[in-house]
Amino acid sequence: MIASVTASLDLLKLITARPNLGLSELARLSNTNKSRTYRMVTTLCQAGYVCQNPDHTYRLGHQALIIGQAARQQIDIFKIAEPVIENLAESFDESIQIRVREGMEMMQIYSRRSQQSVQVHSDIGNCRPLGKGASGKILLAYASEEEVQLGTQEQQKLYDELLSLRETQVAHSYSELSSDVSAIAVPLFDYEQNCIASLSVSIPMSRLSPEYESQLTIALKEAGKRISTAFGAAII
């Protein structure tokens, strides 16, 4: 029974990250046979957590929306971060994200979209590998040596770079995950000084100048410190 619940939750997470996929694709991505995937997704639909589109693909249903809204009210990271993010957005109307680590991947759990005509769009629930992009670098910087899998000279060089990020507490990326998109990310810490998430800003390369990047970096680091301090972190 527990295995079945776990499989259903994994399927729900997959639909969250990859909406509008059909049954065959969901079965393939979840490494589950098609008949079992059908039974699970049917149960999720009956409970309102998933909805079937007219073209027989699947997306989240109304119950997922209710849970999402309740989570935003109950989880401290949103209560603490949103006012700080809104202040940041008033000064810099760019797309802002929070990502957390999920094993050797990172998942986006928050998004504040830019209101500008040219903007970077990134969906809540999307997963990407650690080490990729500004947020991936920040989150991997706080992983252990074993998780970085040291062994080759290239891996050792990467680890040295990650140690440097711990010192500066800011990472930059330029067209690494998406062409013509730059990003800046900082870590968020809890009261035990653990890195619990990354706070990032995504900017179209066409809007990024050295001066603007410097201003954004300073403001983002300050926002990260304010959020971390609210969690009880000792920020120097």
User: Each residue of 72-82: pLDDT tens digit?
Assistant: 666 678 888 89
Contacts of 153 (CB under 8 A, 6+ apart): none
Question: Do residues 119 and 130 make contact, with C-beta atoms less than 8 angstroms apart?
Answer: no
Give domain status of residue 236, yes or no. no
Domain boundary among 49, 66, 83: 66
Number of domains into which the chain is organized: 2
Q: With 0.75 as the threshold, say if the pTM is over it.
A: no
Give domain status of residue 235, yes or no. no
Q: How far is CA 145 from the centre of its chain?
A: 22
* 133-141 and 153-168 helices, crossing angle to 10°: 90
Give domain status of residue 136, yes or no. yes
pLDDT at 139 over 90: yes
pLDDT at 109 over 60: yes
End-to-end CA distance of the chain: 48
Give domain status of residue 53, yes or no. yes
Q: How confident is the model at residue 50 (pLDDT cuts 50, 70, 90)?
A: very high
Residue 136 and residue 37 share a domain: no
21-24 contact pairs (CB < 8 A, 24+): 21/57, 21/58, 22/55, 22/56, 22/57, 22/58, 23/56, 23/58
Residue 182 and residue 128 share a domain: yes
Residue 143 and residue 95 share a domain: yes
- Work out the average pLDDT over 144-155: 67
Give domain status of residue 125, yes or no. yes
Residue 140 and residue 81 share a domain: yes
Residue 193 domain boundaries: 75-230
Residue 93 and residue 204 share a domain: yes
What pLDDT sits at residue 157?
A: 77
Question: Do residues 56 and 22 make contact, with C-beta atoms less than 8 angstroms apart?
Answer: yes
Q: How confident is the model at residue 99 (pLDDT cuts 50, 70, 90)?
A: very high
What pLDDT sits at residue 191?
A: 83
Q: Is the dihedral of CA 125, 128, 133, 139 positive or negative?
A: positive
Residue 119 and residue 55 share a domain: no
Cα separation, 165 vs 159, whole angstroms: 10
Residue 118 and residue 39 share a domain: no
